[in-house]
Every structure is written in structure tokens, then in C-alpha cells.
Structure 1
């Protein structure tokens, strides 16, 4: 992977929708240390993404009860995919707001397509569908998100804050969250020991 070419492409205005951001070892912001972020939207106005490798202590059935989607008796009888769904810490912005990244076999009017097969839905309808077993085949629930202003993400990438790579459904939705950071680096052929936390300047 040619990281210098990648940085040049970003600096020249390449957008990163449907890509992973992988925090470099020198990341100073504790919110993003060893973070893997799925980029949902990126334009000249800024960027928005969901951290996918941090889990909230809040269980999904408890969240459904808090939101009034189900009562406590119904929460016990949820289908296994809903009962086992983990709630991620999606980022430091608007932590009380929920987002669901999901496969495109479930779409409502409020769903925003991110790629050909991934959508983002932020309404309670999808939570109801998941609770009934009629939701998407693959789903990732998060509270909060990561946001950048115009040009901010591009500067952070050029300054060696992030690696980027195309996202895959397997890596996005699989349940091995604790090792996702290392596995993603390994899939790119990158050895953590060889990653410099400092930006290079020609």
C-alpha cells in the first residue's frame, strides 16, 4: 500500500465514503486511540463516521426498554440477533443519539445509502424491526458519532493521524471487536512495530 500516494490523493480532494479510518499509533486524542472508524459521509463541508471497535456497557435489550420500543417482559423474549446485538460507542459527538449501520436488505424512507450495499438509519423504526426479527441481515448499532469540519479530516490524514482503506462488510459487521484494529492492520500487511507515530516530510 502506497501511503504517500494515498495522502496525496486525500490532499487533492478524494472523498472517503465507505472507507475505514485506522488511527495511527501517535493519535493524541484519547477518543480515537486505536480506533477504527467507518466513514459514512465525506464532502468538502466535512465528514461523519462511526467508531466500530468500541463497545458500550449498555445492552441492546436494555436500550430498547429505555426507548419504550419493548417492555421488560418483551426484552427477555427478543430474537437472538437482537438480544446479542452490541451497542458501540460511535464517537464523542451527540452520544445520546443512536445510529444503525446495516446491509441494504432493509431500507426505509429515512435510510441513507453509504455505498451500494451499506445504509445508515437513525430512526427508531429500524430498532423496532430488529426487535421483531424483521430487520436487516447485518446491523451495527452505535450511540454517538465522530465528526470533522471542512478540511479537518484531510489535514489529520496528511499529518499522519489516520490510515485509510476500503471497507468490507465482513470486517464491518463481524463480532471480533477487541481485535478489529490489529486484524485490519494485518489485512493491509502492516506491522504495528513498523508504524511511525510521526509525520514524514520530504
Structure 2
């Protein structure tokens, strides 16, 4: 059996017609992908009424220099668990270097560093994640569920949330208006 290539460091884009409505036009920063499964952080939707200052207050971290920004809906798994996707210029406890475009940290020390003005140059905060079991993501990709786009930090950090899905497709050279939710059979 041929082992699938790791897609960690890519942006997963939901295909039109994605069967799970929670992932319609989803953009996920894929942070782990191996024979045991995959983990991605959603970056295409924000949580209504949740801001970084809310989270810092809940964790008893003074807001300090942290801007009060939106918090992303990272995914349906463990929606109370926080993650920071960030530029690789910062490393702390539990930081996972995903690619040369971004890292992932799930510990409280990065939030304190951001509030103190000594955090990464670019970052975004998410609650929850999307997870797949062994070979599950690979099967969903074969069934017209996901497209693995190149992992571009500019899509994560420089584009507004609502524009990330279409911007990622365009960066791949694909006009999303030409995508269809029907697959063919040869």
C-alpha cells in the first residue's frame, strides 16, 4: 500500500457541494496530517460575539497591548479549546512549526506574549478545530469534499475572513465561480 503524502502546511478548501453544511466555503489551515489522521484550524468564519479581549479576560490575562480582534471558528471539535496560528518568528511551549508560512500554538503563553507586545508578528486566534481519523481526510478528498491549496500565509494573515475562500482559489489560478458541485465519472 502506498502511503499518502502529508498535506500539513496546506490550506484545505471546501469544494462546492460539500456534504457537511458546517464546512460550506470553509478554509482550514491544515496543521497535522499523517497515517493516524489530520488536524486543521478553520480560518474562514468568526465566532459571533467572541473577541480576543473576552478570551483574555476569561483567562485572567491583562489585555495590555493586544488589539481586540475577532476569534475564528476553528472547527466543531473541542470548541472551548484555543489555538493561535501565527508566523514562525515566535516559539513557545508546545509550538508546532507547521511550515515556513505558519506555526500553531495551543498554550496560554502565546496569548500573554501577544498582550505584552512580544508575540509573533502575525497571528490569529481560533476556538476549536477540525479533526479526521485514520485515512478519513484522504477519503473525503477522493469524494469531492476538499481541495488542498498551497499554504499561503498571505491568505491567512492579509485577507479579510470573508474573502479567504475565494482568494485561496484565485491564488491557485482557479475562478471559484467556475466550480461546480457535481463530479463526473469516466
Normalising by the smaller structure, the TM-score range is over 0.9
TM-superposed CA distance for 1:181, in Å, is 1.0
Partner of 2:96: 112
1:62-112, Cα deviation, whole Å (9 max, x unpaired): 110011112xxxx4xx32xx2143210000000000001111221113111
Q: TM-score under structure 1 normalisation? A: 0.86
- Bigger proportion of residues as helix: 1
For the pair 1:189 / 2:173, whether they are aligned, the reply is yes
Instruction: Say whether 1:126 aligns with 2:110.
Output: yes
The residue aligned with 1:99 is: 83
1:5 aligns with none
Aligned to 1:59: 51
Count of aligned residue pairs for this structure pair: 184
Show structure 1 runs of 4+ deviating over 6 A: none
Match of 1:68 in 2: 60
19-28 vs 166-175, which moves further: 166-175
Deviations 1:4-36 (A, max 9, x none): xxxxxxx86121000011111101212111001
Match in the other structure for 1:3: none
> Helix, strand or coil for the counterpart of 2:12?
strand
When structure 1 is superposed on structure 2, of 40-49 and 118-127 the one drifting more is 118-127
Matched residue SS, 2:177: helix
Is 1:86 matched up with 2:74? no
Could you tell me how far apart the structure 1 residues matched to 2:105 and 2:176 are?
34
Equivalent of 2:21 in 15, 30, 37: 30
* Inter-partner Cα distance in structure 1 for 2:101 and 2:172: 22
5+ residue gaps, structure 1: 1-10
Counterpart of 2:130 (choices 122, 136, 146) is 146
Report the Cα distance in structure 2 between the residues aligned to 1:118 and 1:192, rounded to whole angstroms.
Answer: 25
TM-score, normalisation: structure 2: 0.93
Displacement of 1:144 in angstroms is: 0.1
Name the CA distance, whole Å, in 2 between partners of 1:169 and 1:36: 13
How far apart in 2 are the matches of 1:16 and 1:131? 32
Give distance in 1, aligned partners of 2:94 and 2:41.
18
Do structure 1's residue 155 and structure 2's residue 147 form an aligned pair? no
